[in-house]
């Protein structure tokens, strides 16, 4: 019985959709605000990101293991692990 309840709860949460928000820093404090800014989706390749959003303003050198790379655009930064997007962060713009 508990398994059915848990499964129903998980399905309900998945069907509820995803929240869209930006995490921003204002006066050295992290704040969250709603955003509809088009950003790369998790799992996209570097080629897909460049094709959709154009050439980044800055390409930072790869660091660490696994290799993490950051590309900066005017309104957001994209973080890649190997050649796949792991996160896109709104920076302003």
Q: Could you tell me which residues are beta bridge partners of residue 76?
A: 90
Mean pLDDT in the chain?
79
| Cβ neighbours for 61, distance < 8 A, ≥ 6 positions apart | 69
What is the extent of the structural domain holding 65?
2-90
**Mean pLDDT, to the nearest integer, of 37-50?**
96
* Segment (H or E) for 22: strand 21-26
- pTM for this entry: 0.65
- CA-to-CA distance for 4 and 45, rounded, in angstroms? 37
pLDDT of residue 93: 58
Q: Enter the tokens of residue 79.
A: 């973080």
pLDDT per residue as tens digits for the range 52-73: 999 999 999 999 999 999 999 9
* Segment (H or E) for 49: helix 46-53
pLDDT of residue 8: 47
More confident residue, 39 or 33: 39
User: In the chain, how many domains are there?
Assistant: 1
């Amino acid at each position: 019985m508990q398994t059915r309840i848990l499964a129903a709860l998980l399905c309900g949460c998945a069907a509820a959709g995803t929240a869209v928000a930006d995490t921003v820093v204002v006066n050295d404090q992290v704040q969250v605000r709603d955003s509809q800014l088009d950003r790369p989706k998790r799992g996209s390749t570097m080629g897909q990101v460049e094709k959709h959003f154009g050439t980044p303003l800055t390409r930072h050198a790869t660091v660490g293991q696994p290799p993490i790379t950051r590309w900066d655009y005017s309104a957001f930064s994209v973080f890649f692990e190997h050649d796949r997007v792991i996160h896109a962060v709104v920076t302003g713009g």
